[in-house]
Amino acid sequence: MSRARRFRLQVFRIAVFVVMGLFFLVPIGSMFEFSTRGNSATAPRNLDAWLNIVKTPELSEAIIASLELAVITTLAMLVLVLPTMVWVRLRFSGLSRVIEFICLIPLTVPAIALVVGMVPIYRWININVNDSILTLAFAYLILVLPYSYRALDAGLSAIDLKTLSEAARSLGAGWATVMLRVVMPNMSTAILNASLLSVALVLGEYTFANLLAYENLQVAIAYVGLVDAGTSIAVAVASLMFAFVLLLILSYLGRRQAPFAPAAAADYDLAQTVGLSGGVIGRAGR
Amino acid sequence: MTGGNGSEATRAAVEVRLEDLRRTYGTTTALDGLTLTLSPGELVALLGPSGCGKTTALRLLAGLEEANGGRVIIAGKDVTNVPANRRDIGMVFQAYSLFPHMTASQNVEFGLQLHRVDQDERRQRAREVLDLVGLAAHANKFAHQMSGGQQQRVALARALAIRPKVLLLDEPLSALDAKVRSRLRDEIRRVQLEVGITTLFVTHDQEEALAIADRVGVMQAGRLEQLGPPTEIYSRPRTPFVAEFVGLSNRMPGEVKFGGVEVRGTQLPLVQKDVPAGPAVALVRPEAVTIAGDGESASGPLVGTVIAVAFLGAVSRVTVDLGDITVLAQLPTSAAADHPAGSRVRLALRPDPVLVETKEATTASA
């Protein structure tokens, strides 16, 4: 590559970086600025809005509930989806199209339609079992299915699942050992991707919670916004920053993994990191 | 061999019996009643074209697939319904099968951990088997840092480390290039003899099978066509399929009479008994065809024109056009040099026993 060409490429890179950086940082910066204005035009800059996050019990409860939901949904997704996909690939490869179709359905059904279908079920659960907000995890599990399926599918395609699992079995491994010690370590990037997507989706979810009358993070932000705009914006910035930190952790772990991770998974990782859910939706539509 | 491997070599080898094994996939019969006994410490190679059922046989023995009928008996114990992870087998696969996230040594120790071998002994045994396959210096490398041949040697070490009763090799060399392949082939045989383990080796490469096996089983369409030592398989094939699959054969028309077969004026003894007299096709090995002399002025049924000479190293393969058929002769390269393409030669057939295909046999096998 000639020097002039390398220089032009470098300029192009910096330009893209600056434009995209401004695109993301200006709104977030503005939000932060707004959250420190105080309640009247004359009030000095302060962090009252941020302190209110902790002082408003409904808000901190909603944050904790959303975090709990994110963890439960992600774990449930991994426990349910990963072994199923491995099993289907090894034993019923003819079924893989069916499973893929089922997993992608939630993507095509609008959230509002899903919720309307779920209302009677949730009413029954609330009356007969429990009315905890954590029951939302069932609904969220369906919501994250298409995204996690795509991420895990890419990871599974990148390894020779059949040979690796047969080799492990011939060495004396039962199915649990095959999953925990052979399959999962070799698709850790894909698992991280799927988990991050699921956490991000759950933390950003509004429709389900609102229509099923639960107060999760986004619903709480909306309510607080009605009475105290500063605090609601502070929470929004905080949740954005949280997602941002998660992304950084992911790309750090992904890079550290790179020497062992198959190339395809690494590429996928990059695509994921660049365009979080947009990338996945684009893929799913293919 | 180092002293540390003594325990490997003295371990008692076991007998393996496959009894009337059957396996179908939908309407396809992959294995149609295979019966095979491997003596303790023996290396048997199953040889055949793809789809002949050899890999299915190995997978049924490994427990990676379930039989539709028949029994698998290892060391006198019926293991037909025992899952793969409790069969006590070691296996090397065609595809590279090292766990990518572990080093060579960790790969080897994986099986030992599952067999609850304590850490010190694990380390010791991993070192021993890696030493056995000549890779002690690569113990800390990951699969992606090793060549294909090295990966397969680690896979062999990993399979042997758990001291299995049976070693199964599923075309372990087919992903490698020719030179590495023949070296690793000899290496596998050396290790197998050193450890003394009963081994089933599956391959579609006749050279591989003939070179390292105690006995070779040639398979076709889910059945065992012939089982015997490599020399017998090669020089006394029992069926036309074996004769043509193993080595090269000239198909020369002739006539069965007087307990032999007359091919172009030469009487050859028969491998088979009780062949009805009459027209038949004799399968003659190229090395049984020699050039008797210059054919410039001669005439006769075995006089023809050399149309091609293929140089194969120490030997050359000469194609001779006899008018109605072409015949391959394999000669020392020095002898073949006297007969360039275009020259007239007179051939002679060495009176080795040959296999014939009669009309009925041809229609039956078609």
Q: What is the pLDDT of residue A1?
A: 62
Q: Which residues of A touch B95 (CB under 8 A)?
A: 160, 163
Q: Answer whether B116 touches A (CB < 8 Å).
A: no
CATH of the domain at B339: 2.40.50.100
| B21 vs A57: CA distance, rounded Å | 70
CB-nearest to B100 from A166, A174, A260 is A260
Query: Quick one: what percent of chain B has pLDDT higher than 70?
Result: 94
Closest by alpha carbon to A276, among A193, A189, A191? Answer: A193
Any domain includes A42: no
CB-nearest to A171 from B101, B142, B162 is B162
Q: What is the pLDDT of residue B295?
A: 66
CA distance A159 to chain B (A): 9
Identify the weakest region by mean pLDDT among A161-175, A214-228, B206-220. A214-228
Residues A268 and A137 occupy one common structural domain: yes
Residues A63 and A104 occupy one common structural domain: yes
3-state secondary structure of A60: helix
Residues A178 and A270 occupy one common structural domain: yes
**Beta strands B198-203 and B43-47: pairing type?**
parallel
Residues A73 and A115 occupy one common structural domain: yes
Number of A/B CB contacts below 8 angstroms equals 70
Residue of A nearest to B100 (CA): A260
Q: Which residues of A touch B159 (CB under 8 A)?
A: 170-171
Any domain includes A39: no
Q: What is the pLDDT of residue B258?
A: 83
ipTM: 0.79
CB contact under 8 A, B97 and A171: no
pLDDT exceeds cutoff 70 at A281: no
For B:32-91, CB contacts with A below 8 A are: 62, 64, 83-86, 89-91
Residues B228 and B322 occupy one common structural domain: no
CATH of the domain at B150: 3.40.50.300
Mean pLDDT of chain B: 87
Q: Answer whether B101 touches A (CB < 8 Å).
A: yes
Residues B297 and B350 occupy one common structural domain: yes
Any domain includes A40: no
Residues A9 and A68 occupy one common structural domain: no
Residues 6+ apart with CB under 8 A from B58: B46, B168, B170, B200, B202
Q: Around Cβ B19, how many Cβ atoms within 10 Å? A: 17
A226, containing H or E segment: helix A217-227
Q: Which residues of A touch B64 (CB under 8 A)?
A: 166, 169-170
Q: Contact at 8 Å (CB) between B252 and B263?
A: yes
Residue A193, domain extent = 47-284
Residues B170 and B263 occupy one common structural domain: no
Residues B276 and B155 occupy one common structural domain: no
The model's confidence at residue A238, banded by pLDDT at 50, 70 and 90, is confident
Residues B123 and B55 occupy one common structural domain: yes
Residues 6+ apart with CB under 8 A from B304: B295, B320, B321, B322, B323, B327, B344, B345, B347
Tokens of B30: 């992959």
Final residue in a domain of this structure, among B211, B240, B269: B240
| A26 vs B237: CA distance, rounded Å | 83
Report which residue type is found at B354: V
Residue of A nearest to B109 (CA): A171
Final residue in a domain of this structure, among B224, B240, B256: B240
CA distance B100 to chain A (A): 6
* Model confidence pLDDT, tens digit, residues A240-278: 888 788 778 776 776 655 444 444 444 444 344 333 333
Residues A115 and A253 occupy one common structural domain: yes
Residues A158 and A233 occupy one common structural domain: yes
Q: Which residues of B touch A253 (CB under 8 A)?
A: none
CB contact under 8 A, B62 and A159: no
Any domain includes A93: yes
pLDDT exceeds cutoff 50 at A282: no
* Model confidence pLDDT, tens digit, residues B53-112: 999 999 999 999 999 999 999 999 999 999 999 999 999 999 999 999 999 999 999 999
Residues B24 and B126 occupy one common structural domain: yes
Q: Which residues of B touch A163 (CB under 8 A)?
A: 93, 95-97
pTM, 2 dp: 0.77
Query: Quick one: what percent of chain B has pLDDT higher than 90?
Result: 44
* Model confidence pLDDT, tens digit, residues A69-92: 999 999 999 999 999 999 999 888
| B61 vs B73: CA distance, rounded Å | 9
CB contact under 8 A, B162 and A182: no
Residues B108 and B184 occupy one common structural domain: yes
Residues B226 and B198 occupy one common structural domain: yes
Closest by alpha carbon to A157, among A182, A183, A129, A135? Answer: A183
Which position has the higher pLDDT, A232 or A18? Answer: A18
Mean pLDDT of chain A: 82
Residues B214 and B132 occupy one common structural domain: yes
CA distance A106 to chain B (A): 34
CB contact under 8 A, B162 and A186: no
Residues A119 and A3 occupy one common structural domain: no
Q: What is the pLDDT of residue B130?
A: 92
Q: Contact at 8 Å (CB) between B235 and B352?
A: yes
Final residue in a domain of this structure, among B222, B240, B258: B240
CB contact under 8 A, A172 and B86: yes
CB-nearest to B111 from A166, A171, A186 is A171
Residue B116, domain extent = 3-240
B358, containing H or E segment: strand B355-358
Any domain includes A88: yes
Any domain includes A152: yes
Identify the weakest region by mean pLDDT among A142-156, B182-196, B204-218, B351-365. B351-365
Any domain includes A64: yes
CA distance A172 to chain B (A): 4
Residues B235 and B255 occupy one common structural domain: no
Residues A26 and A147 occupy one common structural domain: no
CB contact under 8 A, A160 and B84: no
The model's confidence at residue A228, banded by pLDDT at 50, 70 and 90, is confident
Residue of A nearest to B116 (CA): A172
What are the C-alpha distances in Å from A144 to residues A103, A277, B175, B177, B277?
9, 11, 40, 46, 77
Q: A111: buried, middle or exposed (CB in 10 Å: 19+, 13-18, 0-12)? A: middle
CB-nearest to B114 from A159, A173, A260 is A173
CB-nearest to B95 from A160, A173, A186 is A160
* Model confidence pLDDT, tens digit, residues A36-73: 887 677 778 888 888 888 888 888 888 889 999 999 99
The tally of domains found in chain A comes to: 2
- For tokens 């772990």, the residue is A253
CB contact under 8 A, A167 and B144: no
* Model confidence pLDDT, tens digit, residues B177-217: 888 888 889 989 998 998 899 999 999 988 889 999 999 99
CATH of the domain at A249: 1.10.3720.10
CB contact under 8 A, B85 and A262: no
CB-nearest to B91 from A170, A186, A262 is A170
* Model confidence pLDDT, tens digit, residues B234-271: 888 888 889 888 888 888 998 888 888 888 888 898 88
Q: What is the pLDDT of residue A257?
A: 53
Q: Answer whether B129 touches A (CB < 8 Å).
A: no
Residues B235 and B254 occupy one common structural domain: no
The tally of domains found in chain B comes to: 2
Mutate to test the interface with B, among A93, A171, A183, A189 (most CBs of B within 10 A): A171
Residues B151 and B268 occupy one common structural domain: no
pLDDT exceeds cutoff 80 at B299: no
Residues A56 and A150 occupy one common structural domain: yes
Residues A166 and A76 occupy one common structural domain: yes
Which position has the higher pLDDT, B271 or B46? Answer: B46
Q: Contact at 8 Å (CB) between B61 and B168?
A: yes
Q: What is the pLDDT of residue B351?
A: 87
Identify the weakest region by mean pLDDT among A194-208, A241-255, B20-34. A241-255
Q: What is the pLDDT of residue B244?
A: 83
Q: Which residues of B touch A168 (CB under 8 A)?
A: 99, 110
Residue of B nearest to A91 (CA): B65
- What is the layout of strands, in order, in the sheet containing B344-349? B289-294, B344-349, B303-311, B315-321, B326-332
Residues A138 and A209 occupy one common structural domain: yes
Q: What is the pLDDT of residue A224?
A: 83
Q: Answer whether B158 touches A (CB < 8 Å).
A: yes
